Amino acid sequence: NAGVTQTPKFRVLKTGQSMTLLCAQDMNHEYMYWYRQDPGMGLRLIHYSVGEGTTAKGEVPDGYNVSRLKKQNFLLGLESAAPSQTSVYFCASYNTISPRPGQGSGNTIYFGEGSWLTVV
Amino acid sequence: AQSVTQLGSHVSVSEGALVLLRCNYSSSVPPYLFWYVQYPNQGLQLLLKYTTGATLVKGINGFEAEFKKSETSFHLTKPSAHMSDAAEYFCAVSGAFADKLIFGTGTRLQVFP
């Protein structure tokens, strides 16, 4: 099935450890995003990418890095995890206005299932 | 720049009652507006969206929203609440092409029997 897949789904890290979250989409979308969700704060945009090889900062980029080496993948890295980065992370991808079959409906951002990260 | 304000972090209704979740937006360009629903421990599912055209938008599960430019609002309604509607609802705004969503802080809907 077409969609956005995130791995891992759950992870516990110690302060100072590093890790990478992987997001993969099979809908040939140009735009991809990483959000974090915290209680009472909704979803906040960390970084995003408007195409292969490009990345840009969102609302809360500090402490994170991203890479988009392949169009279908968008990686979120934590170089030195901190307890403040305990959160649920959502990846998303965006469809062009005139989608081809199998690419979902137009003007819609599709979300993954989420990755629960705890930093102790 | 865009922003969204959702009025009321918690809303409680009885089963069969009207559901009204409020959303006001700010945007320097014509907005694209969205409502997403999130069930516990799950991702976000698109309920409905407004891009251009008809200002009354119908979505899934009987929900609808009306874009009112003069009031900068995009409130979500459902005539009769069902127990299965209990979830968290997020309003979001973007500029043209919906290429970067800015979310509100969410409203948790509780439905009582």
Q: For the segment A106-117, what is each residue's pLDDT rounded down to a tens digit?
A: 667 889 999 999
Task: Give the one of B49, B99, B103 whose C-beta lies nearest to A42's C-beta.
Answer: B103
Q: What does the pLDDT look like over A21-59, one tens digit per residue?
A: 999 999 888 889 999 999 888 899 999 998 999 999 998
Burial B32-58 (b: 16+ CB within 10 A, else e): bbbbbbbeeeebbebbbbbbeeeeebe
Q: Work out the mean pLDDT of chain A and round it to a whole number.
A: 89
Contact (Cβ atoms closer than 8 angstroms) between residue B103 and residue B4? yes
For residue A104, what pLDDT is reported?
Answer: 55
Rounded mean pLDDT, B30-45? 89
A44–B103 C-beta distance less than 8 A: yes
CA R_g for chain B = 13
Å from B20 to nearest chain A CA? 19
3-class secondary structure for A82-99? CHHHCEEEEEEEECCCCC
Around Cβ B59, how many Cβ atoms within 10 Å? 17
Distances (CA, A) of A105 to A42, A72, B51, B65, B111: 24, 18, 13, 19, 31
A107–B49 C-beta distance less than 8 A: yes
For residue B94, what pLDDT is reported?
Answer: 84
Q: What does the pLDDT look like over A51-96, one tens digit per residue?
A: 999 999 998 999 999 999 999 999 999 999 999 999 999 999 987 5
* C-alpha–C-alpha distance, residues A60 and B36, integer Å: 21
Interface A-B: count of C-beta contacts within 8 A: 55
For residue B70, what pLDDT is reported?
Answer: 93
Q: Which residues contact A71 (CB under 8 A, 6 or more apart)?
A: A28, A30, A51, A52
pLDDT at B25 over 80: yes
Task: Give the one of B9, B43, B49 whose C-beta lies nearest to A108's C-beta.
Answer: B49
